[in-house]
Amino acid sequence: MPKKQAMATSLSSGCQRILANPWIYLIVSLALLVCMLGARSLWGSEGRWAEIAREMVLRRDFFHPTINWAPYFDKPLFTYWAIVALSWITGTINEFTARLPSAIAGLAALWATVLLGKRIFSRNAGYLAGWLLLTSFGFLFWSRTACADSENLAFIMFAVLWYRAKMHKPNFLTFLVFYLICAIGAHFKGLPAAVLPVLVCLTEMIQRKTLKRYFTLSHLAAILIGLLVYLLPFVYAAYTGDGYGENGLYLAFKENILRFFSAFDHREPFYVYFYYVPLLFLPWSPLLIGALGEAFSHYKSLNQDEKWILHSLLIIFFVFTCSESRRSYYILPILPFCALLVGNLLVRTNTGDLWLKISMKVQQWLVIAASLLLILAPVVGYLMERHRGIVPPKGFTTSLFITGVLASVFFWLLLKYLTRREQDLNLCSRILPSLGAVVIISAGFFCWQQVILEQYRPYRPFLKKVRTSMGSNISPSNVALSQDTANVIFYLGFNGPMPVLKTPRDVKWFLNREGLRYMIVQRRYLKRSFSVLPEELKKHPYMSSPLYPGEKRKRMQLLVWRLSGPVETNKTGDFQKHVSGP
């Protein structure tokens, strides 16, 4: 072997050792999933998970979830139990504890993907799929969010992995473990954790014509035990929930079955997943498109396992598209199969193949463009401040600039080092520079820029300041809210329910009470339920959440009034005039 060719082979082997090194993969995974996990305040639906877990601990009732001490059984129990269990270790329920179950589940899903790829393809394909999944935006975002989607993904992947590991031993134990994984997973988010693994495995059975092997009494017994395990928590909650008012099993049916066939919310066009999947798989969407083109154009040359991954991807896409209820994060379980398809084809396909050759070029230029855009962030920030009046948070554009420089330098140095020979187009020279740059960009965003952006998310420090100003002796019954927002309730941290003023009649009742009281109102409700407030009172709140420089929309601003006695309501409009809405 010529000296230069031997050096190129050595470089390729070294790069593959880096990609398939479990310790490097574990360290980077932990850094991206856990670093600064609790630095951000809760947003959106995260408050529901944190507040329900907090109230479970306060009420000593772990089977009847509540928000503001009112029943809320829209999601299964185990997702809250995971937060409660971790709170016994950390000693508190905060942002970090609320998000940690998702991060742990994300790590589990990553390793399940790697192990599945190693089992059906090769070690390099498995680890490359794991790296692609780890650095995909949708996976990282939802694995760092307090929700049940990451847990749902993890249990789906472990059920599929178990099936592939034990498919040649179709006995009672194999079936039982499979259905127990599905049943437990279904108690984190819902029935997709049970339905999707069955469909994916059924696809493999039909493809290999082994379906008849599974028509056994032991299989039926395992299904019945799995069903019983799934039903038990709901049955226990129903029999012990005197006066609770909600049936968890019915809500599971409503959220999973009725919503699928007749959506009552989350309605979006049937084609939304055609752009949601590429968005979730960013920045690797060009490679996904190239891999799909490669797979379809050379379908006959694919082996059984490659066809199975492709079919599984299509089945998952088809199922979620057929549902009338659609959201971007619903289809998160498709990402590991996208990563496995791409990872395997990159490892085994020649670089001369048209689809992957074009997609690899697009992929590299996309990473380069993203890095250059980050480098230009200070210029963009200056122009936005000068012409739009939007002032970026202090240090934000600088952090973007540094991240862009590091990603660009890493990309170009590694690319130059690996491709000093034109014909050296091995796996590493194609993907490793882009992968390294994306790791840097992802770490910069999730572990640095998001923390800086907290300067413009004032709810957490503002509500803690409000709570301190109230003093420790204030009763929660004397603190009223304009809506039962879980985030607000969580940060106020009362040990009892607070009144929620949803109508002008409710507002009048609270205003006419005696004693020291507080009202916390979002500005958007002033023209509706709180239209009975005296105009002078509206103009002079006791406290108001700060607005960031250049912010023009004030609808979400929190206003606080401190009342020490009965307040005369607005005389200019009676109740009947305002009760019908704006």
Cis? peptide before 283, omega within 30° of 0: yes
Domain-terminating residue out of 300, 324, 348: 348
d(CA 444, CA 298): 38
Tokens of 223: 């299904």
Instruction: For residue 580, count CB atoms less than 10 angstroms from its CB and return exposed for 0-12, middle for 13-18, buried for 19 or more.
Output: exposed
**Chain length of the chain:** 582
Per-residue pLDDT at 426: 55
**Closest C-alpha to 431, from 306, 344, 371:** 344
The 3-class secondary structure across 14-71, one letter per residue, is HHHHHHCCHHHHHHHHHHHHHCCCCCCCCCCCHHHHHHHHHHHHHHCCCCCCEECCEE
Boundary of a domain, candidates 456, 480, 508? 456
- Look at residues 73, 64, 96, 71 and name the one whose alpha carbon lies nearest to residue 83: 96
Number of folded domains that form the chain: 3
Pair (524, 419) in one structural domain: no
Whether 426 maps to a domain, the answer reads yes
Residue 545 within a domain: yes
The helix or strand, by DSSP H or E, that contains position 468, with its residue range, turns out to be: helix 459-470
Q: Is 543 helix (H, G, I), strand (E, B) or coil?
A: strand
Return d(Cα 397, Cα 393) in angstroms, integer.
8
Q: Which residue has the tokens 């507002």?
A: 507
- The sign one gets for the Cα dihedral 569, 573, 578, 582 is negative
CB atoms near residue 466 (< 10 Å): 21
Nearest to 399 by CA among 413, 381, 426: 381
If asked whether residues 293 and 382 sit together in one domain, one would say no
Q: Report the distance separating Cα 42 and Cα 52, nearest Å.
A: 13
Q: Is the separation of the CB atoms in 336 and 157 below 8 Å?
A: yes
Q: Is residue 61 part of a domain?
A: no
Please name every residue paired with 517 in a beta bridge, in sequence order, or none if there are none: 563
Give the residue carrying structure tokens 């050096």: 7
Which single residue is written with the structure tokens 């493999």?
204
CA 321 to chain centre: 19
Q: Which residues of 115-146 are buried (b: 16+ CB within 10 A; e: fewer)?
A: bbbbebbbebbbbbbbbbbbbbbbbbbbbbbb
Does 248 share its domain with 149?
yes
Residue corresponding to tokens 């599945």: 116
Query: Does 131 share its domain with 247?
Result: yes
The whole-model pTM stands at 0.90
Stretches where the chain sits below pLDDT 50 are 1-12, 422-424, 572-582
Q: Judge whether 45 lies within some domain.
A: no
Rounded Cα gap, residues 456 and 395, in angstroms: 12
The sheet with strand 543-544 has its strands ordered as: 479-481, 517-522, 558-563, 543-544
Same structural domain for residues 336 and 365? no
Angle between helices 304-322 and 192-208 (to 10 degrees): 140
Q: Is 365 helix (H, G, I), strand (E, B) or coil?
A: helix
Q: Is residue 42 in a domain?
A: no
pLDDT at position 270: 82
* Residue range of the domain that includes 240: 102-348
Radius of gyration of the chain (CA): 27
- What CA–CA distance (Å, rounded) separates 563 from 7? 78
498 domain-assigned: yes
229 and 326 fall within a common domain: yes
Nearest Cα neighbor of 82 from 197, 223, 184, 207 is: 184
Q: Which of 140, 106, 131, 121 is nearest to 19 (CA)?
A: 131
Q: Is 408 in the same domain as 479? A: no
Partner residues linked to 66 by β-bridges? 71
Q: Which residue in 61, 70, 63 sits closest to 237, CA to CA?
A: 63
- Give CA torsion, residues 123, 127, 129, 131, to 10 deg: -170
Quick one: pLDDT at residue 237? 86
Using the 3D structure, point to which of 409, 427, 456 is the last residue of a domain. 456
Q: Give the number of other Cβ atoms within 10 Å of residue 419's Cβ.
A: 18
Q: How many Å apart are CA 51 and CA 65, to the nearest integer? A: 10
Residue 419 gets which letter from DSSP? T
Q: Are residues 264 and 166 in the same domain?
A: yes
pLDDT at 553 (0 to 100): 65
Q: Give the 3-state DSSP-derived string for 190-234, with helices as H, strands as E and coil as C.
A: CCHHHHHHHHHHHHHHHHHCCHHHHCCHHHHHHHHHHHHHHHHHH
Residue 415 in domain = yes
C-alpha span between 582 and 317 (Å, rounded): 41
Residue 432 belongs to a domain? yes
Tell me, yes or no, whether 132 and 180 share the same domain: yes
Residues 365, 298, single domain; the answer is no
Same domain, 471 and 446: no
| Structural tokens at position 50 | 């944190």
Which residues make Cβ contacts (< 8 Å) with residue 363, sequence separation at least 6? 283, 284, 286, 287, 434
One-letter identity of residue 93: I
Q: Of the candidates 243, 308, 322, 227, which has an alpha carbon nearest to the alpha carbon of residue 69? A: 243
DSSP letters, 219-285, are HHHHHHHHHHHHHHHHHHHHHH-TTT---HHHHHHIIIIIHHHS-SS-B--TTTHHHHHHHHTTTSH
Q: Indicate if 467 and 435 belong to the same structural domain.
A: no
Q: What is the pLDDT of residue 514?
A: 87
